[in-house]
Amino acid sequence: MNSQIKSTNERKHYIDWLRVLAFGLLFLFHSWRPFDQFPWHIKNEDQNFIFDLLTMFTHGWRMFLIFLVSGAGTWFALRSRKKAFVMDRVKRLIVPFIFGIVLIIPPQRFYEWVMFRDFSGNYLDFLIAYPSQQLGANMGSSLLLWFGHLGTHLWFLPFLFVMTMCVIPLFKKIQKGQLKFSWLKRIMQSNYGVFILVLPMILIRVILKPMYSEYTDWADFLIYMLPFIYGFLFMSDPEFINIIKKKTYLFLVVGLISSIYFIYSAFLDPLNIQEYMNPSYSLKHIELSVVSMLIAYSWILFFLGFFAKHMNFKHSILVPANISILPIYVLHQSLIIVFGYYIVGLELGTFTKFIIIACTAIPASILLYKLIQTNNSLRFLFGMKKKTNKKGSQVKQVSNAMAFDK
């Protein structure tokens, strides 16, 4: 028992690496979005088939991976923060979300209006019209849709906050050992029993997605909540990670087959994409739900198992990279859109434009972060802990919490 407690408390460097992968991919994902065929804030005149493939492949699991790592990190955050945990979530998630709505998101909408709404005024004209336009939108009764409408890419922050508040009682019971999962480990140790945890994801999507088809509505919230819970659960007992490590390449095979099938069916019949995004209760909806959830589940557990096997080591870049993730995440999409608006108008190939966007917006995000980290007021607005001069304070600012806990 003592060895298990030690194992669940010791630093998991592979979670830090997995967090860097998940958000590094997110930054690249948004950098190539102007060049695929799917709607986004700005668009290049010509699209490229390769970026269509990349978007369809990664969109199937990228946010699931972020929520999985978030759950894993919350295990450590809840242990370290205890009574201060809820207030810490407010500071790290809600404060940067509100700040982002006020100052970071408007430039995205300005260039969106210029490109797609023929808006001809200057930025001040836009700022005068923008608040009433945003608040006057009809989002129905769903609070969740307002998160994405007001915060665009920052919807993840309030999602994570609400999700965390919903499952705190469950998480506390797991940490106190009041819930036993020996039955689950026995099932997962069997040949294909490890896929038992994908069944609730499939069931929720089949039942709820036709009713809540908008992205980031209740269906997506509940589906994303499951890998969030799984990440927390896996950290509670090292045996879960051992099982996943043994099944790593099974997840890879299932993930590859499912992704190839989904992408092939999408290009074979474009109506499949429409049915996936706006489903009705049909056999096709059930089929696409099974395949899409297998994609999400298989890929995130493949990466978890692979990183647990091969990436559980320290590196000098790991601490500063993890500290910078939240402010860079808040900044990056606005910079991509601002720079991208002018770059897509150049007489260059799509791959060249993508490289220019990535090589300007992402470094600019890093440079702005360097400025932010020097000022405690800015640190607060971007969800960072107050800067101190104590030796080793930088290390203390990072924990294995995708909930941006420090």
Indicate the pTM of the whole model.
0.93
Nearest to 151 by CA among 110, 103, 97: 97
DSSP symbol at 194:
G
Residue 43 has phi, psi (to 5 degrees) of -140, 140
Q: Grade residue 1 by pLDDT with cuts at 50, 70 and 90.
A: very low
SS (H, E, C) 164-185: HHHHHHHHHHHHCCCCCCHHHH
Q: Distance (Å, rounded) from C-alpha 82 to C-alpha 310? A: 31
Q: Taking a C-beta distance cutoff of 8 angstroms, is the pair 234, 228 a contact?
A: no
Q: Distance (Å, rounded) from C-alpha 156 to C-alpha 360? A: 24
Mean pLDDT of 223-239: 97
Q: Grade residue 329 by pLDDT with cuts at 50, 70 and 90.
A: very high
Length of the chain: 406
Q: Taking a C-beta distance cutoff of 8 angstroms, is the pair 147, 155 a contact?
A: yes
Q: Grade residue 387 by pLDDT with cuts at 50, 70 and 90.
A: confident
Q: Assign 231 to helix, strand or coil.
A: helix
Helices 2-9 and 238-246: angle between axes, nearest 10 degrees = 70
Structure tokens at 368: 């702005």
HSE on the CB side for 370, CA within 13 Å? Answer: 6
Structure tokens at 11: 């630093």
The predicted pLDDT at position 81 comes to 77
Q: What is the DSSP string of 71-88?
A: HHHHHHHHHHHGGGHHHH
Q: Distance (Å, rounded) from C-alpha 299 to C-alpha 21? A: 13
The predicted pLDDT at position 70 comes to 96
Nearest to 156 by CA among 255, 279, 289, 22: 22
Q: Taking a C-beta distance cutoff of 8 angstroms, is the pair 31, 336 a contact?
A: yes
Q: Distance (Å, rounded) from C-alpha 112 to C-alpha 340? A: 11
Mean pLDDT of 367-395: 83
Residue ranges per structural domain of the chain: 2-396
The predicted pLDDT at position 254 comes to 98
Mean pLDDT of 338-356: 97
Q: Distance (Å, rounded) from C-alpha 379 to C-alpha 377? A: 5
The predicted pLDDT at position 138 comes to 85
Q: CB under 8 Å, gap of 24 or more: what pairs does 112-121 form? A: 112/41, 112/42, 112/337, 114/341, 115/41, 115/42, 115/43, 115/341
**pLDDT for 297 beyond 50:** yes
> What sign results for the dihedral spanned by CA atoms 244, 158, 31, 260?
positive
Q: Grade residue 296 by pLDDT with cuts at 50, 70 and 90.
A: very high
The predicted pLDDT at position 67 comes to 98
Q: What is the DSSP string of 143-163?
A: HHHHHHHHHGGGGHHHHHHHH
Mean pLDDT of 240-252: 97
% residues pLDDT > 70 (the chain): 93
**Per-residue pLDDT reduced to its tens digit, 19-60:** 999 999 999 999 999 999 999 999 999 999 999 999 999 999
